[in-house]
Amino acid sequence: MRPTSNRSIPLPRKLAKFARLLRTGLLGRFVLVLGAVGLIPLIIVPWLVQLTRDSVTEQILTTHSVAARTTAARVDAWIRSLRISAQTLSSNPFLLQATRNEVGEIIAGLLQADPAIKGAVVVNATGVEVGSAILRDFSEVVRPALLGPTAAPVSVIPGDRIWIRVATSLDEGKGELRIMVDGSGLAEILKSEEIGRDAIIGLFDADELLIASLNVSEDTARFPKALLKAGAARATSGASRYDDTDPVLAGAHSPVQAAPWFVASIQPATRAEAVASEMRRKGLLALLGAVALTGLFSTLGYFAVIRPIDEIAKSQWKVAKRRGHAQSAGGNEIALLKEAFITMRRQTLDREAIGKIFLSRYLVLDILGTGGMGSVFRGWDPKLERPVAIKTIHMGGENRATVDAIEQRQILLREAVTVAKFNHPNIVAIYDVEDADEAAFLAMEFVDGLSLESLLAEAGLMRVELAVPLIAQIARALEAAHSAGVIHCDIKPANILLGKDGAIKVTDFGIARSAIRNISGTSGTFGTPGYLPPEALISAAFTPTADLFGVGAVFYETLTGTPPHAGKNAQETLLKTATQAAISVREHNKSIPPAVDDLILGLLQKEPSRRRPTSARELAESLEGIAARNDWKWVAPEILAGRAAAAQAEVPTAAISAPTKLG
């Protein structure tokens, strides 16, 4: 009997077979998965529309709140400057003793100092004019307003333009100095780049009367009454959405501190509604597109994938039947597909295992360096989407920490606690700390560049016009640390990081000590030979001047290419540090200014009490003064751009070196 061809199968049977495939076969699952992937995400479109509209509205409110506060601050600064000028002049006791002409000459200086001031008058305690200075073109308007009764220190005077009167008492309350200011410039002060062109911003007094405005006429009806009432209360700044207006408005208000005024701004919230409407339209189009694509890909998938797999499965079933391994052909196509997926998944995971290692939430990209206490990796924080340097501590086997590892962990964790005490642009920031059973690590700021040690190894030394501003920023970092009661204890070129973007960062506070409670009882001395001060080699007693000695050694090395007490080995270096004075920098390089040489030799004094300057702040100010006089500014050397990428895998750009233990 010949097999029946597909052409001879009646249409109802074809439809019935297709329906069975949809219900139980791979095609049904294929369509179901495509439908879920394409359609289910669209179910949340209405929620996303509402969320987006609220988010855009919140963004508008935040922008207006910032604009209102900054505008109020500018108005406040303008009023304060006027009051300060008036108060400075009113404190002159000669005003009530001088003649009328002399008083006029004294206060005429105000008009010359500020073109907005059109007139000023001094009256005694009874309100009688003592003297005045008024621009001729404004006498008819200004004089009556100045001689009128004073209601408040700052008030608005009706007129052909915006007039502001500022009154301040004379010495011992014997009269008043009153000035009249042309407030036409307030419109310029009210300009704000933060808000859109359709925004309206106005300055109001405590009675909700408009003083000055931007993008609005004298008609204040556009401002919601609730907004003006909240602003007139002058309690605090605020922002809100006003749904009872047409169109819906977003507005904010902020008080002016120097006068009984407030700033209010409004903007139609139509942008949020337009975004929501556009999202709804695109969501509907996406839904229709998803349905069409689901049908299209289902058809293509059936002919390109499912039917071939079905034919292969049936062929394998026939072979098994001939070999005596017959089994039901039902479901074989799915089993084969599952096996293929499992194989593909194993291969994918094997590849990902090589390139994707996570420490807690941080993705490890590659290794930057390895030290005695662990390793430093270049990583990525997927949550905050920023690069990080990950400094690790490895523990002993079988989840039991060795003695050294415990000490290193304490150093690592102490570094996190220490750096958390202060925040400075010249200090590597620590973002996170993790203390697990088998390992501890810090996640810190990633500096894309080289350490000063690597730079000097490549270039030999540094020009004085770069070294001076470099050391000045290092001193500023130590000023911040010392102010927080922290002594670094290990200032050296390896712990100074130089970014390609011009950043200068001090790092590795792992062995830092408290300047208030000096840890002199710690077993041994931690630090690096050549940069440790002599007192640390004798008593292990650290003070802030110990860091200054390290800065002096680093400064010396940047200009000469060698540390000031370099020996053949660590022991010889320590001996020279304790017994020999440093040779003048000018012995190596005559071009070094004597003032710089004196600073370095002062920092390298053996006795802590004789070191000059005596503080990091004083050192920074001295260096900044030298740099300013010579117009020296820090610019990242060209070698950073050329070598940073190649050296990144070898030279850590974060604190990685383990402390050297002496004794």
pLDDT in tens, 179-221: 999 988 888 888 877 776 778 899 999 888 888 887 654 455 6
User: Is the Cβ–Cβ distance between 426 and 474 less than 8 Å?
Assistant: yes
* C-alpha to C-alpha distance for 203 and 264, rounded to whole angstroms: 7
CA distances from 351 to 187, 348, 357, 378, 493 (A): 64, 5, 12, 20, 39
3-state secondary structure of 331: coil
Whether 656 shows a pLDDT value over 90: the answer reads no
Whether 113 shows a pLDDT value over 90: the answer reads no
pLDDT above 70: percentage of residues in the chain: 68
The pLDDT tens digits of the residues spanning 442-499 come to: 889 999 999 999 999 989 999 999 999 999 999 999 999 999 888 988 999 999 999 9
Same-domain pairing of 458 and 309: no
* Structure confidence at residue 505 (pLDDT): 96
Residue 169 resides in a domain: no
Which residue among 304, 319, 344 closes a domain? 344
In this structure, the dihedral spanned by the alpha carbons of residues 587, 590, 593 and 594, taken in order and rounded to 10 degrees, is 40
User: Is the Cβ–Cβ distance between 514 and 486 less than 8 Å?
Assistant: yes
We report the CATH number of the domain holding residue 455 as 1.10.510.10
Same-domain pairing of 338 and 463: no
Give the residue ranges of DSSP H helices in 25-138: 26-43, 45-90, 100-113
User: Is the Cβ–Cβ distance between 132 and 104 less than 8 Å?
Assistant: yes
Residue span of the structural domain in which 657 resides: 449-662
* Structure confidence at residue 59 (pLDDT): 77
Residue 107 resides in a domain: no
Residue 133 resides in a domain: no
Same-domain pairing of 478 and 602: yes
Over residues 110-137, the mean pLDDT reads 89
Same-domain pairing of 465 and 578: yes
Strands 210-214 and 200-205: antiparallel
CA distances from 62 to 52, 69, 560, 629 (A): 15, 11, 54, 44
* Structure confidence at residue 333 (pLDDT): 53
Q: How confident is the model at residue 347 (pLDDT cuts 50, 70, 90)?
A: very low
Q: How confident is the model at residue 663 (pLDDT cuts 50, 70, 90)?
A: very low
Residues with Cβ within 8 Å of 233's Cβ and at least 6 positions away in sequence, in order, are none
Same-domain pairing of 333 and 454: no
Which residue among 296, 320, 344 closes a domain? 344
Q: How confident is the model at residue 16 (pLDDT cuts 50, 70, 90)?
A: low
- The least confident of 93-102, 408-417, 504-513 is 408-417
* C-alpha to C-alpha distance for 254 and 265, rounded to whole angstroms: 9
According to DSSP, residue 27 is labeled: H
Same-domain pairing of 453 and 340: no
Residues with Cβ within 8 Å of 662's Cβ and at least 6 positions away in sequence, in order, are 524, 525, 526, 527, 529, 532, 537, 570, 574
Which residue among 321, 344, 367 closes a domain? 344
* Structure confidence at residue 290 (pLDDT): 66
Q: State which H helix or E strand residue 187 sits in.
A: helix 186-189
**Nearest Cα residue to 154 out of 192, 187, 203:** 203
Residue 552 resides in a domain: yes
Residue 547 resides in a domain: yes
Over residues 579-586, the mean pLDDT reads 94
* C-alpha to C-alpha distance for 564 and 47, rounded to whole angstroms: 68
Same-domain pairing of 335 and 484: no
Same-domain pairing of 473 and 605: yes
* Structure confidence at residue 269 (pLDDT): 72
Q: Mean pLDDT score of the chain, rounded to an integer? A: 78
In this predicted model, which residue has the larger pLDDT, 364 or 26?
Answer: 364
The pLDDT tens digits of the residues spanning 519-567 come to: 444 445 567 899 999 988 876 577 899 999 999 999 999 999 999 999 9
Whether 406 shows a pLDDT value over 80: the answer reads no
Residue 254 resides in a domain: no
- Number of structural domains (the chain) is 2
**Nearest Cα residue to 85 out of 184, 181, 152:** 181
Residue 644 resides in a domain: yes
Same-domain pairing of 469 and 336: no
User: Is the Cβ–Cβ distance between 401 and 449 less than 8 Å?
Assistant: no
CB count within 10 Å of CB 189 equals 17
CA-based torsion, 625, 626, 629, 635: positive or negative: negative
The pLDDT tens digits of the residues spanning 64-85 come to: 888 899 999 999 999 999 999 8
| Sheet of 496-499, strands arranged across | 449-451, 496-499, 504-506
Count the residues in the chain: 663
In this predicted model, which residue has the larger pLDDT, 344 or 455?
Answer: 455
Residue 426 resides in a domain: no
For 72-98, give the DSSP string: HHHHHHHHHHHHHHHHHHHT-GGGGTS
3-state secondary structure of 527: coil
Q: How confident is the model at residue 353 (pLDDT cuts 50, 70, 90)?
A: very low
Tokens of 237: 């700044």
Same-domain pairing of 525 and 643: yes
Whether 39 shows a pLDDT value over 90: the answer reads no
